[in-house]
């Protein structure tokens, strides 16, 4: 029987390849769902790229209605509330294939199925769920989530929108302003946050615009003109003495900040998933163009500089898929464990995602960063044509940019992932202290000069990953010891630690995926090894920067020596040969 790791435990425990899930393991129902959504995207979305770029908001709404008719908006909603009641992996899969072709539709889909629906599912009363969820699940109404204000972004609890109880005690009267609200132009169901009277914390509310006693009490700014996602509706929302029944309070009073945070945890892994098919499509366009484009009498895909880009782009897709579906299945397994122990399914889903909040932040940062880089490299492969609106790369690059801002900026998420891990350790939920102390003793000991036996498939790669985990524990443990409770103020250090953490999780995910499903001579194994080499380089740079910034003298020398020991290959891979192997495979295949 498999053992479900706690969130963040990947750092201190070995994960057997048999314990991870990847795209190769989709069941027939999941494959049918994937294919039906992909066929819809290819038929209804791809041919209308120009309309999306010209701010055709009605087209986005029309596509959302059609997705609702297909059932694609209600995958995570239980059957008793009008949805399909499918598992978390299937929810992530649907987000993956529905989001890759167009950033405007991806934003509308993600906002509706995620933060527009899930707070009601997780925190709503039974009456609220029965009232709002069926219409949301079927696309009869669309959802919007009103949290951000002009002076309240990452610090969501500092919002100035106010709610007060009416004199008869039957209504809350809300006044205030929200901004950057996705789907605002065509949404009917609004989840919003306000402080009741002089409360310290925000409280959540839900309301249908169509049911307001005074429709003019809810008004909207003009559509925002944005760098990308041009046909996603983004407006300011104004509440002017907006009167809603007291039973529309969502969850508990003063609990809105927790609702907001937990909705964002789900949004982070779904944003990673939403970037995957975009990466695939950018890569496929790049390969096709490189094969078709002739210079000096040959296809530019024959040039080493272009092949290097294609190999690294393909490797990035493989790695991002590995991490995203690994975490999705971990969350699904945790949900199953909790429901088997008697927990209500919605509560179990909430707790399951919360358990893996560290991994959700890792994925959000790594995948959105890499998607932007992939789009940038796509433009470069297209050359001057890539800079033209007539080619697909220009819009893909602009659409990708928002991913690093959504669901908490990447900087905030980098700080969050390490911060959450430290807090879990301090609460005793995960033991980082024991392995960190063991590393201290290891650094004082004489290293073994025996050459390990790495004849088993991926054995050296897994041993190296185990050592990279020691790098994280060494650097973060020493930094914690020095700064203690002041560590949160050391943002430079936390960013370095986050880079190490992110690279470890993603590199391990790729290696385990390759080990489980592909043989040692496969292109997938080559991609896992190529990514690990790049990860070692990134971790070495981040760790060295951290060490020299807070350690001095003998401590610094000892830690730098440990860094060299823990990042050393016994048999360093031929990176050029790996790159060429990956490039040759996809150039010849013509697609990912």
Catalytic residues: 407
d(CA 559, CA 551): 8
Give backbone dihedrals phi and psi of 580, rounded to 5 degrees, phi first.
-65, -35
d(CA 53, CA 64): 17
Please, how many CA atoms are within 13 Å of residue 242, restricted to the half-sphere of its CB? 30
Please, how many CA atoms are within 13 Å of residue 403, restricted to the half-sphere of its CB? 35
d(CA 206, CA 188): 10
CA 380 to chain centre: 25
DSSP assignment letter at 149: B
d(CA 341, CA 352): 13
Asked if 13 and 5 touch (Cβ cutoff 8 Å), the reply is yes
Distances (CA, A) of 58 to 54, 63, 184, 443: 11, 9, 13, 62
Lookup: tokens for 44: 């209804």
Q: What is the DSSP string of 83-99?
A: S----HHHHHHHHHHHH
Angle ∠(454,455,461) on CA atoms, nearest 5: 45
How many residues are listed for the chain in this entry? Answer: 592
| Tokens 């306000």 found at | 194
Q: β-strand 143-146 against 203-208: which pairing, if any?
A: unpaired
d(CA 456, CA 344): 44
Q: Which of 40, 48, 100 is nearest to 67 (CA)?
A: 40
Q: Which of 38, 120, 106 is nearest to 77 (CA)?
A: 120
- For residue 149, how many other CB atoms are within 10 A of its CB? 21
d(CA 509, CA 17): 9
- For residue 302, how many other CB atoms are within 10 A of its CB? 15
566 CB burial (10 A radius; 0-12, 13-18, 19+): buried
Question: Which of helix, strand or coil describes residue 314?
Answer: helix
């Amino acid at each position: 029987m498999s053992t479900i790791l706690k969130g963040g435990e990947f750092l201190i425990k070995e994960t057997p390849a048999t314990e991870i899930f990847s795209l190769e393991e989709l069941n027939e129902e999941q494959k049918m769902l994937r294919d039906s959504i992909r066929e819809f995207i290819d038929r209804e979305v791809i041919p209308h790229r120009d309309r999306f770029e010209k701010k055709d908001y009605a087209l986005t709404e029309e596509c959302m209605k059609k997705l609702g008719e297909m059932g694609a908006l209600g995958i995570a909603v239980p059957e008793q509330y009008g949805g399909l009641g499918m598992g978390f992996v299937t929810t992530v899969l649907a987000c993956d294939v529905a989001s890759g072709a167009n950033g405007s539709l991806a934003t509308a889909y993600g906002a509706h199925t995620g933060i527009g629906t899930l707070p009601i599912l997780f925190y709503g009363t039974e009456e609220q769920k029965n009232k709002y969820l069926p219409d949301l699940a079927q696309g009869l109404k669309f959802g919007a989530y009103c949290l951000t204000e002009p002076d309240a972004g990452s610090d969501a609890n500092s919002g100035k929108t106010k709610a007060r109880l009416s004199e008869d005690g039957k209504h809350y009267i809300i006044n205030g302003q929200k901004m950057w609200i996705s789907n605002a132009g065509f949404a009917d169901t609004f989840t919003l946050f306000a402080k009741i009277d002089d409360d310290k914390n925000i409280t959540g509310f839900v309301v249908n615009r169509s049911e307001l006693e005074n429709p003019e009490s809810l008004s909207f700014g003009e559509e925002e003109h944005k760098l990308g996602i041009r046909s996603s509706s983004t407006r300011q929302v104004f509440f002017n003495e907006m009167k809603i029944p007291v039973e529309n309070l969502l969850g508990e009073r003063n609990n809105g900040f927790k609702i907001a945070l937990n909705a964002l945890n789900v949004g982070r892994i779904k944003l990673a998933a939403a970037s995957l098919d975009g990466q695939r499509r950018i890569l496929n366009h790049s390969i096709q163009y490189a094969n078709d484009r002739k210079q000096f009498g040959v296809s530019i895909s024959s040039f080493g500089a272009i092949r290097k880009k294609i190999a690294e782009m393909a490797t990035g897709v493989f790695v991002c898929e590995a991490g995203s579906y690994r975490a999705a299945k971990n969350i699904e397994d945790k949900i199953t464990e909790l429901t088997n122990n008697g927990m209500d399914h919605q509560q179990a889903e909430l707790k399951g995602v919360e358990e893996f909040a560290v991994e959700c932040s890792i994925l959000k940062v790594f995948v959105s960063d890499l998607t932007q880089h992939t789009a940038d490299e796509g433009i470069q492969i297209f050359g001057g044509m890539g800079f033209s609106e007539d080619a697909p790369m220009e819009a893909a690059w602009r659409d990708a940019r928002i991913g690093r801002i959504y669901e908490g900026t990447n900087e905030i998420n980098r700080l969050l992932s390490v911060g959450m891990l430290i807090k879990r350790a301090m609460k005793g939920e995960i033991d980082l202290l024991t392995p960190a102390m063991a590393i201290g003793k290891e650094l004082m000991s004489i290293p073994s000069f025996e050459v390990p036996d790495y004849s088993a498939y991926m054995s050296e790669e897994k041993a190296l990953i185990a050592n990279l985990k020691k790098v994280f524990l060494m650097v973060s443990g020493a930094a914690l010891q020095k700064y203690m409770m002041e560590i949160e103020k050391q943002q430079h250090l936390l960013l370095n630690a986050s880079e190490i953490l992110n690279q470890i999780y993603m590199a391990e995910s790729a290696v385990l995926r390759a080990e489980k499903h592909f043989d040692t001579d496969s292109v997938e194994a080559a991609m896992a090894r190529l990514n690990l080499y790049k990860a070692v380089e990134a971790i070495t740079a981040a760790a060295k920067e951290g060490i020299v910034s807070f350690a001095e003298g003998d401590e610094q020398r000892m830690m730098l020596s440990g860094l060299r020991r823990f990042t050393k290959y016994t048999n360093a891979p031929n990176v050029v040969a790996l790159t060429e192997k990956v490039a040759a495979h996809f150039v010849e295949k013509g697609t990912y």
